[in-house]
C-alpha cells in the first residue's frame, strides 16, 4: 500500500478564527466590545499528543521506506517470499486499516476529526465512493508494478504525479497554465524520461501499470479538491472513510484477477509477516498525522525528498537494483521540479 499514499497529499487541520461579540449601548450610541474568555477544557478530556519534529520525521521516513521494501520482499520471486498477489495483499492492508481506525476512534483522539464531518448518504455516494474507487485502482496498479519493475525505477516514475495533477487540472480548467507551471511540467517530464531511458531492466507491463497508477492517483487528488473542498481530513480520518470502501472493491476483484491462488500460497508468508506488514503500513498513516502538525511545507518537502533518496539507496542494497548515471541525472532534474512545485503550492 502506498497511501502510500505520501504526506504531500494530506490537508493540515486549521483552527477557525474566534469572533468577538459586539453589542451596542442604546443610551450613548457607543460600541461596547464584549470579550469572551476561552472555555477551559474539562479535566477528564484527553489531551492531544504531540511529537517533536526531530523524532516524528525519522519515524515517518522509516515507516514509509519499510512499507515499500517490505511489500517488494513479499512479492519478489527470487529475493523474497514469492507471493505475487498484490490485490490480495492490498485488500488485507485495507481490512486491517478499517478495523484499526475504528479501534483508535474508541480509544484515542486521533480520529476525532471524523466528528466534524457531516457524512450523509448522498455525500458518501457522490464523493467517498468514486474517490475510494480511484484510490483502490491506484493501490492495485502500483503494487502490480512491483512485480516486474525495480523499487528505484518506480520511485523515479512517481515524481511524475505532480505533472499528471497539473495536466488533469488544465484539461478540466480547474487551474490555468502559466510559465512557472509549464517549466515545472517540462523539468519533471524530462527527468522522468531520462530515468526511463536509462532503466536497465525495463518491463513494458510494469511500466504501463505504474503509469496507470499515476493517472489514478492524480485523478483521485484532483477529485478530492473538487468534491471535498473545505472538508478537513487528515490521513487517519481519510483512511477511516476510504479503507472499508476500497477493501470491498478489492475483495470483489480478487476472484477475477487472482482467484484462489493467494489463499493456497499463504503458507509462504505466514501470519507474522501478514500482521507486521499491515501494521507497518498502518503505522505510516499514524505517523503522517503527527508529521503534518509539526513541520512547515518546506521541511516536509525536503523530508520527502530525503526519504526518496534513502529508499532508492536501500532498494539498491537490498535487491541489487542497478542504476545508470543518466537515471541519477534525470531524477535530480525531476526532484528539482518537484521541490519547486511543492514550495510554490502548485501555482
Reported as a single tens digit per residue, the pLDDT across 218-248 is 999 898 888 777 677 888 888 999 999 999 9
> Using CA atoms, how far apart are residues 289 and 4, in angstroms rounded to an integer?
14
> Using CA atoms, how far apart are residues 48 and 25, in angstroms rounded to an integer?
41
Reported as a single tens digit per residue, the pLDDT across 317-337 is 888 778 889 989 999 999 898
Write down the pTM of the prediction. Answer: 0.79
When the pLDDT of each residue in the chain is averaged and rounded to a whole number, the result is 82
Going by the DSSP 8-state scheme, the letter that residue 15 receives in this structure is P
| Short-list 268, 271, 278, CA closest to 82 | 268
More confident residue, 90 or 36: 90
Name the H helices within 110-234.
Answer: 121-123, 129-145, 151-158, 161-171, 179-197, 204-227
Reported as a single tens digit per residue, the pLDDT across 26-53 is 334 444 344 444 444 444 455 566 778 8
Q: What would the mean pLDDT of 208-220 be, rounded to a whole number?
A: 94
Listed range (12-26, 101-115, 149-163) with the worst mean pLDDT = 12-26
User: In which band, very low, low, confident or very high, does the pLDDT at 297 lie, cut at 50, 70 and 90?
Assistant: low
Determine the 3-state secondary structure of 52 from DSSP. coil
Determine the 3-state secondary structure of 264 from DSSP. helix
Cβ neighbors of 299 (< 8 A, separation 6 or more) are 53, 57
Overall size of the chain counted in residues: 347
Listed range (48-57, 261-270, 295-304) with the worst mean pLDDT = 295-304
Instruction: Supply angle C-alpha 284, 56, 228, rounded to 5.
Output: 55
User: In which band, very low, low, confident or very high, does the pLDDT at 1 lie, cut at 50, 70 and 90?
Assistant: very low
Q: Cell numbers 493467494 label which residue?
A: 262
pLDDT above 80 (res 11) = no
Reported as a single tens digit per residue, the pLDDT across 120-179 is 888 898 889 999 999 999 999 999 999 989 999 999 999 899 899 889 988 888 888 888
Determine the 3-state secondary structure of 24 from DSSP. strand
Half-sphere exposure of 148 (CA within 13 A, CB side): 12
Predicted local confidence at residue 340, as pLDDT: 86
Predicted local confidence at residue 343, as pLDDT: 78
User: Burial, 221: exposed, middle or buried (Cβ in 10 Å; 0-12, 13-18, 19+)?
Assistant: buried
Determine the 3-state secondary structure of 174 from DSSP. coil
Please give the full DSSP string across 103-138, using - where no structure is assigned.
HHHHHSSTTGGGGG----HHHIIIIIHHHHHHHHHH
pLDDT above 70 (res 10) = no
Amino acid at each position: 500500500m502506498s497511501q502510500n499514499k505520501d504526506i504531500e497529499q494530506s490537508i493540515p487541520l486549521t483552527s477557525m478564527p474566534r469572533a468577538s461579540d459586539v453589542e451596542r449601548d442604546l443610551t450613548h450610541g457607543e460600541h461596547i466590545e464584549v470579550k469572551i474568555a476561552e472555555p477551559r477544557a474539562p479535566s477528564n478530556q484527553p489531551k492531544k499528543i504531540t511529537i517533536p519534529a526531530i523524532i516524528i520525521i525519522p519515524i515517518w521516513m522509516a515507516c514509509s521506506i519499510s512499507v515499500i521494501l517490505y511489500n517488494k520482499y513479499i512479492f519478489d520471486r527470487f529475493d523474497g517470499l514469492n507471493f505475487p498477489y498484490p490485490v490480495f495483499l492490498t485488500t488485507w492492508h485495507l481490512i486491517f486499516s478499517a478495523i484499526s481506525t475504528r479501534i483508535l476512534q474508541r480509544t484515542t483522539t486521533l480520529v476525532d476529526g471524523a466528528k466534524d464531518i457531516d457524512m450523509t448518504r448522498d455525500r458518501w455516494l457522490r464523493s467517498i465512493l468514486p474517490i475510494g474507487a480511484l484510490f483502490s485502482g491506484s493501490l492495485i496498479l502500483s503494487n502490480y508494478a512491483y512485480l516486474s519493475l525495480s523499487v528505484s525505477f518506480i520511485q523515479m516514475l512517481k515524481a511524475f504525479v505532480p505533472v499528471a495533477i497539473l495536466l488533469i487540472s488544465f484539461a478540466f480548467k480547474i487551474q490555468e497554465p502559466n510559465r512557472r507551471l509549464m517549466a515545472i511540467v517540462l523539468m519533471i517530464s524530462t527527468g522522468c524520461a531520462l530515468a526511463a531511458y536509462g532503466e536497465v531492466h525495463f518491463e513494458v507491463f510494469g511500466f504501463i501499470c505504474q503509469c496507470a497508477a499515476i493517472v489514478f492517483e492524480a485523478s483521485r487528488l484532483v477529485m478530492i479538491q473538487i468534491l471535498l473542498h473545505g472538508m478537513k481530513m487528515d490521513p487517519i480520518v481519510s483512511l477511516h472513510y476510504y479503507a472499508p470502501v476500497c477493501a470491498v472493491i478489492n475483495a470483489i476483484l480478487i476472484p477475477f484477477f487472482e482467484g484462489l491462488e493467494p489463499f493456497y500460497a499463504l503458507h509462504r508468508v505466514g501470519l507474522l509477516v501478514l500482521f507486521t506488514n499491515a501494521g507497518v503500513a498502518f503505522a505510516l498513516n499514524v505517523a503522517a498525522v503527527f508529521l503534518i502538525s509539526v513541520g512547515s511545507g518546506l521541511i516536509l518537502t525536503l523530508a520527502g525528498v530525503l526519504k526518496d533518496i534513502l529508499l532508492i539507496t536501500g532498494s539498491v542494497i537490498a535487491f541489487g537494483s542497478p542504476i545508470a548515471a543518466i537515471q541519477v541525472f534525470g531524477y535530480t532534474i525531476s526532484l528539482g521540479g518537484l521541490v519547486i512545485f511543492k514550495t510554490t503550492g502548485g501555482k
